[in-house]
Amino acid sequence: MGINGYIKKIMIIETPQKTSKRSHRSNEGKIQSSCFVWFNNTFPQYRGLLFHVPNENDRADSNPIQGAIRKSLGVWPGVADLICLIPRNGHGALLIEMKDEHGTQKPAQKVWQAAVEAQNYRYEICRSLEQFKIIIHEYLCQR
């Protein structure tokens, strides 16, 4: 069985989130996890085409050496949390930045948003599972 057959047969389930001192990060993570699970269970034909880019800068192992290594590997400031590689209506991909109800974009995220929108990618800020469902349905129904 090829990778596509294997991917279509697995069911995505939610995993418990670790709590952190930074509650807004935890809230964003919970929202993102719920969105990811919903997407993969609702659109199994697109599993693997929506993914998270591990670009967080507040990791426990952050130090100058690790930062230099991540930078040399291609980590870029401001990159969206989720990338959906399904082209629709002239857009090559849908890029989703997750925020909780109080979250705001950092300057690097605004710069990256402008850069990708200039290349005709669709960029959205999402604050809830309900909003994610609307964004995805609107995006995927465009042809």
Number of domains making up the chain: 1
Residue 111 lies in a domain: yes
List, in order, residues 6 or more apart from 53 with CB less than 8 Å away: 79, 80, 81, 82, 83
Lookup: tokens for 130: 């309900």
> Residue 88's CB: how many other CB atoms inside 10 A?
16
- We report the CATH number of the domain holding residue 118 as 3.40.1350.10
Q: How far apart are CA 88 and CA 26, in angstroms?
A: 31
Report pLDDT for 21.
Answer: 43
Judged against a pLDDT cut of 80, whether residue 59 lies above it is answered with no
Print the domain residue range for 89.
45-58+76-143
The tens digit of pLDDT for each residue in 30-58 reads 999 999 999 999 999 999 999 998 887 65
**Residue 98 belongs to a domain:** yes
What is the pTM for the complete model shown? Answer: 0.80
Q: What is the DSSP letter of 1?
A: -
Is there a domain that residue 138 lies in?
A: yes
Tell me the pLDDT tens digit for each residue of 94-109: 999 999 999 999 999 9
| Pair 58, 22: CB distance under 8 Å | yes
Residue 85 CA to residue 42 CA, distance in Å, equals 16
